[in-house]
Structure 1
Amino acid sequence: MNLLVSEDRPRALLALENGSTFAGYASGAEGEAFGEVVFNTSMVGYDEIVSDPSYAGQIVTLTYPQVGNYGVCERYLQAPGLALRGLVVHDMCYTPSNWQSEGSLPDLLRRSGVVSIEGVDTRALTLQIRESGAMRAAISTVDLDPESLVARVRASEPISSHNFVEDVSPAEETVVPAKGERRFGVVAYHCGMKRGIVEGLCEHGCEVTLVPWDTPASRVLELAPDGVFFSNGPGDPEQVVSTSEAARALLGKLPCFGICLGNQMFTLAAGGSIEKLPYGHHGGNEPVMNLLTGKVEITAQNHNYGMVFPSLGDLVPELSGGESTHHDDLRHWSRLHVAPVVRNERYGRIRLTHVNLNDGTPEGIQFLDVPAFSVQYHPESKPGPNDSSYLFEAFARLMEGRDDYLDIDVREGRRF
């Protein structure tokens, strides 16, 4: 391990809100970083993970034991800069070996000013996050006193106190041309949108106009697109008021598709509730059942918040297998192979389409009386499996006016 020759590198300390501390060595920029600590279970794709804008305000723990082996490559980074607050790894590789490598991960972290610590027992840390939930934390190469750093962590602001979407959204509109024949014009709310998602839309014939997070619905209607996309993004969705208001105004006027934060924007637009999950979903191995097809997708996810499906309305028994009582664990519907429908006061009928098979949380909805749908995960496989890439084609079919746009076998969209 690199730690055997680490005495010449600065020491670092990781402190958690619950009082736990982990000593190690700096493996990125020196200094201090405060944020919310989470863990990601992906085995590969660390370059795409650290460059995901949805990690703004967070300290990311990678559970795979050795990180950095194949270096980093500009083409795989998902944003121009790194938005995460800090990185925690067990063993960092400083001499990568890969024909595409353009440099090492530690060098990228240093250039980007991201504080990182290695030498941490990431298994023990992950168990603590699972038991205590995502919590405030700090990495420091300056303050190595455990009591002092824990006290400062407890005095720091929670992630819910700031609108991180504003930090990662662009200031101006940008047009990205379609790859090949232009089939559709799409306006995309860039709330921290990954490069791979833009590419996924463009590969399906969409000319994409990226707009800032607070763009009013009136501007979108002026652009007269064929559809509107609401992207992923960081932080507490309750802070992103302008985007949820835009979603509320546009739902029913144009075909709409949302992912991750976009799914939460649709929920708030419909008058539903959002909850903070104990430790969220971060990784490329979350099993999700499509209740319309009965097929299971292995999905890539990155979120700490999610919708509360019962908050959208009362069940419609005749469209919900005869049932009128909501269930907290939505795996009930996956066992029945029933996609339940609620009656929403604003938008009519809304159907639950996708369920997480690990914890029974909602992963997708479909508006039956307006042209819109959303999922809580990332379909572009950056990083992760490509089981869900069919959702881009589903959006294309929705813009074509097809009623069966979501009835796609996951194998149809898979790329080998």
Structure 2
Amino acid sequence: MKYTTRKKAVLLLADGTIFYGKAIGKEGTAFGEVCFNTGMTGYQEIFTDPSYFGQLMVTTNPHIGNYGVNETEMESDSIKIAGLICKNFSYNYSRVDASGSLVDFLDSNNLFAISDVDTRALVSYIRENGAMNAVISTVVDNIEGLKKQLAEIPQMEGLELASKVSTKQPYFFGDENATYKIATLDIGVKKNILRNFAKRDVYIKVFPYNSTFEELSSWNPDGYFLSNGPGDPEPLVEAQALAKTIIDKNLPLFGICLGHQVIALANGVSTYKMHNGHRGINHPVKNLVTGKGEITSQNHGFAVNREEAEAHSDLEVTHLHLNDDTVAGIAMKSKNCFSVQYHPEASPGPHDSSYLFDQFIQNLK
């Protein structure tokens, strides 16, 4: 084992609650909003998902690291979570096509992580009291100092984070001889979304978060896509203005997760911060158009106001989350525009939601 002596570590929540554990690798301190993901697999995809930027991730699966990592399972170019909190961490791994251990992967990405935390008690606490800012640290003998530093960390509500994860320069993805062209606004896009478009005969140009309609339309695309991403959708005024222009011109538009919330805001429908959000790969959604159920992957801490969406004259609520009846999908009645709150590219169903990509291709036609 690489780490024979492990430092004591602490998790301090914003309300003063403390949990104890041990550092997985090196010593350190990390701040962020604490949240939990209930997925039994897919920890590498979770850690590299840009939508989790700025968050301390609690994994509810008791074993993390047991199958190592594989470079083909990255959702971005690096780890995006702010820190990791788990129960049992496996330094040894077993998988035929693993390219390395999780501990080396965390180290190479300079991610501070702790284990041996009572994650069942922690998740129960977050469920009851809501997601909040927290700090994990090996500075266990200076709780007051950590409290002062934690008090200065901004709240997730009102926080614009898309600029932290978006590409700095436009880039291309897929086959340039493909039948269709889609302009993608990168407000935290996952690689697997781009792969899903590419395998449907689509060539993609990915644009930075603050790109204008003129910049996207100058490429002469067949349609437009607003990606997933982290943070509060409300401060993304440029993305909302872009969505509004695309909608006004009645051009094909599709949004996932943060992109879905941006489309709602562009239609004058508000969003709000949820008590603890949806993060996992077994969330039940009902398609109100077909009456069919879908098992979905979800990752969001904000949601679209259902009352306002249902009262909107040009919006139809197309999907509902069956656990809490929150809005999981909307479509415009008079425009070529639809969006979903969940992740069809993650395919836990495994094919329950893949029709959404096909639906968008049909809209391009």
TM-score under structure 2 length normalisation: 0.95
- In structure 2, the partner of 1:52 is 49
Code of the aligned partner of 1:208: I
Match of 2:289 among 268, 292, 302: 292
Residues 119 and 198 (structure 1 numbering): CA distance in 2 closer, same or farther, change over 3 Å?
A: same
Moved over 6 A (4+): none
- In structure 2, the partner of 1:379 is 344
Whether 2:274 is the aligned partner of 1:274: answer: no
Deviations 1:19-59 (A, max 9, x none): 11111111144311110000000000001000101100100
Deviations 1:128-155 (A, max 9, x none): 1101100000111234444443443234
CA distance in 1, matches of 2:117, 2:54: 21
Residues 31 and 161 (structure 1 numbering): CA distance in 2 closer, same or farther, change over 3 Å?
A: farther
Match of 2:359 among 387, 390, 394: 394
> Taking every aligned residue pair, what percent have the same amino acid on both sides?
40
- In structure 2, the partner of 1:66 is 63
Match of 1:156 among 149, 153, 156: 153
Residues 229 and 222 (structure 1 numbering): CA distance in 2 closer, same or farther, change over 3 Å?
A: same
Whether 2:235 is the aligned partner of 1:239: answer: yes
In the TM superposition, what is the alpha-carbon distance from 1:238 to its structure 2 partner? 1.3
CA contact 1:196–1:382 (8 Å) conserved in 2: no
CA distance in 2, matches of 1:166, 1:78: 17
Whether 2:88 is the aligned partner of 1:123: answer: no
In the TM superposition, what is the alpha-carbon distance from 1:159 to its structure 2 partner? 2.2
- In structure 2, the partner of 1:133 is 130
Deviations 1:227-282 (A, max 9, x none): 00000000111122211111111114210000000000001100110011100000
CA distance in 2, matches of 1:265, 1:76: 27
Question: Aligned runs of 1:49-198 on 2, under 5 Å?
Answer: 49-178=46-175, 182-198=178-194
Q: Secondary structure at the match of 1:159?
A: coil
Count of residues in correspondence between the two structures = 364
Whether 2:202 is the aligned partner of 1:206: answer: yes
CA distance in 1, matches of 2:198, 2:291: 28
CA distance in 2, matches of 1:170, 1:190: 7
Whether 2:364 is the aligned partner of 1:364: answer: no
In the TM superposition, what is the alpha-carbon distance from 1:162 to its structure 2 partner? 3.6
- In structure 2, the partner of 1:225 is 221
In the TM superposition, what is the alpha-carbon distance from 1:290 to its structure 2 partner? 0.3
Q: Secondary structure at the match of 1:237?
A: coil
Code of the aligned partner of 1:157: P
Structure 1, 150-159 or 50-59: larger mean CA deviation:
150-159
Code of the aligned partner of 1:287: P
CA contact 2:296–2:342 (8 Å) conserved in 1: yes
TM-score under structure 1 length normalisation: 0.84
CA contact 1:174–1:209 (8 Å) conserved in 2: yes
Q: Secondary structure at the match of 1:380?
A: helix
Q: Secondary structure at the match of 2:224?
A: strand
